[in-house]
Amino acid sequence: MSNSMYGRSILDLTEMTQAEFLSVIKLATEIKANPNEYRHALSGKILAMIFEKNSTRTRVSFEAGIIQLGGQAIVLDSKSTQMGRGEPIKDTAKVMSGYVDGIMIRTYSDTMVAELATEASIPVINGLTDNHHPCQILADFLTIYEVKGKLKGIKLAYVGAGNNMAHSFLIGGSLVGMDISIATPTGYEPKQEIIDIAEQNALQSGSKIELINDPERAVADADVVVTDVWASMGEESQQLEREKLFAAYQINSELVSKAKDDYLFLHCLPAHRGEEVTSNVIDGTHSKIYQEAENRLHAQKALMVKLMKDS
C-alpha cells in the first residue's frame, strides 16, 4: 500500500490533510497497542536530532521511538556542530541528507527550519519552533481521542499566551473539526496569519473558532482545558511582567468549574504549579498530563513511520 506522506517534511500542521492527520492518530493507537508488530518498521534507518533548545520529552520520546522502531538516533547540539559556527543551512541540509534518513530539529526560527527542509532531500520534522509545535498536538489529540472517543465536535479551551501551542491548537483543531476557544490577555493574541489559516480550515471542517480575552467564557462547557507556561523559552526576561498580566488567566478550581463535569486537563510540560495552573488542577483527577506526555512517544513513532517508511 502506498504511503502519501513518505519522504515529506512536517514543519507545521498545514502540511497535512485532515485524512493524513487522522491516519497518524490511527497508526499511533495501533503502535501503542501492538508495539512489537512495529519493532522492525524502521530497521536500518537513522534519525538525526538537532537541538538548539533544551529538551526532556522531545529528546527522550524521539530517541526511544526510533530505537523501538528498529532504527537509531544521532543527537546533535547545534552549538557543537558547524551550524553553531555559522555554516549555511543549505550546506548542512545537503550533507546531512547523504548521511541519515530523517532530521528532527528543535529550535527557535521557523524560517531556518523551512530552509533546512527545502534544501534537504530527506524528511525534516519540527520538534518545536517559536510558532509551531505539531508533534505536541498529535500527542494531545491522541490523548483526547483515547479519553473522549472522538475529535470532531469536541470543545477545547486554551487559556494563556498566543504562542506556538495556541497556534498549533488553532490549526490542528480547525483541521479535524474541533471547536477551539482561545483566551489571551490583550496584546498576546495568536498571530493573524495563523488565525486566517484556522478560519479557512473551519469552513471545510465545521470547526468553530473563538478568540477572546475572557477566560471564563472560553472555558464554559469545554471538554478539554489547556494552558502553557506564561513565558516560553527565550522570553524569560518577561517572566515577572507576565505574572502580573496573566494572573487572571490562571487555570484553577474556580475557572474549571465552568467546564463540563467530565472535562480533561492537558499541559505540554514543563509546568509551573502555582502560576499558569494550580496544583489541585494539574495533579487532580481530570488531569491527563502523564498520559499526554507518554503519547508523544506513540504519536511521533507513527509520524516517523509515515515519513520514513515507503509502504
> Can you read off the three cell numbers belonging to residue 233?
523559552
Mean pLDDT of 285-291: 98
Mean pLDDT of 296-307: 98
Q: What is the dihedral of CA 269, 275, 279, 284, to 10 degrees?
A: -60
pLDDT tens per residue, range 26-78? 999 999 999 999 999 999 999 999 999 889 999 999 999 999 999 999 999 86
DSSP characters over 126-168: EEE-SS--HHHHHHHHHHHHHHHS-STT-EEEEES--SHHHHH
Return the pLDDT at 85.
Answer: 65
pLDDT tens per residue, range 148-170? 999 999 999 999 999 999 999 99
Percent of the chain with pLDDT over 90: 89
Band (pLDDT 50/70/90 cuts) for residue 278 is: very high
Q: Which of 132, 242, 267, 296 is catalytic?
A: 296
Return the pLDDT at 234.
Answer: 64
- Specify whether 268 is catalytic: yes
Q: Which residues are annotated as a binding site?
A: 55-58, 82, 106, 133-136, 164, 228, 232-233, 268-269, 296
- Specify whether 228 is catalytic: yes
**Mean pLDDT estimate for the chain:** 95
Show the beta-strand stretches assigned E in 79-141: 102-106, 124-128
- Specify whether 8 is catalytic: no
pLDDT tens per residue, range 107-134? 999 999 999 999 999 999 999 999 999 9
Return the pLDDT at 237.
Answer: 72
Mean pLDDT of 296-304: 98
Q: Which of 12, 68, 101, 106 is catalytic?
A: 106
- Specify whether 133 is catalytic: yes
Q: Which of 12, 228, 242, 298 is catalytic?
A: 228
Contact indicator for 122, 157 with CB cutoff of 8 Å: no
CATH numbers and ranges of domains, the chain: 18-133+295-308 (3.40.50.1370), 137-292 (3.40.50.1370)
* Beta-sheet pairing, 155-159 with 224-227: parallel
Read off the pTM: 0.95
Contact indicator for 88, 35 with CB cutoff of 8 Å: no
Return the pLDDT at 241.
Answer: 84
Q: Which of 68, 132, 136, 179 is catalytic?
A: 136
pLDDT tens per residue, range 1-14? 467 899 999 999 99
Return the pLDDT at 233.
Answer: 62
Band (pLDDT 50/70/90 cuts) for residue 231 is: confident
Percent of the chain with pLDDT over 70: 96
Q: Which residues are annotated as a binding site for carbamoyl phosphate?
A: 55-58, 82, 106, 133-136, 268-269, 296
Query: Does the pLDDT value for residue 267 go beyond 90?
Result: yes
- Specify whether 291 is catalytic: no
Query: Does the pLDDT value for residue 84 go beyond 70?
Result: no
Q: Which of 12, 68, 130, 133 is catalytic?
A: 133
Residue 280 CA: distances (Å) to CA of 216, 254, 259:
18, 11, 15
Q: Which residues are annotated as a binding site for L-ornithine?
A: 164, 228, 232-233
Mean pLDDT of 281-309: 98
Q: Which of 101, 268, 286, 298 is catalytic?
A: 268
Which of these ranges, 183-187, 204-208, 233-237, 274-278, has the smallest mean pLDDT? 233-237
Mean pLDDT of 192-202: 98
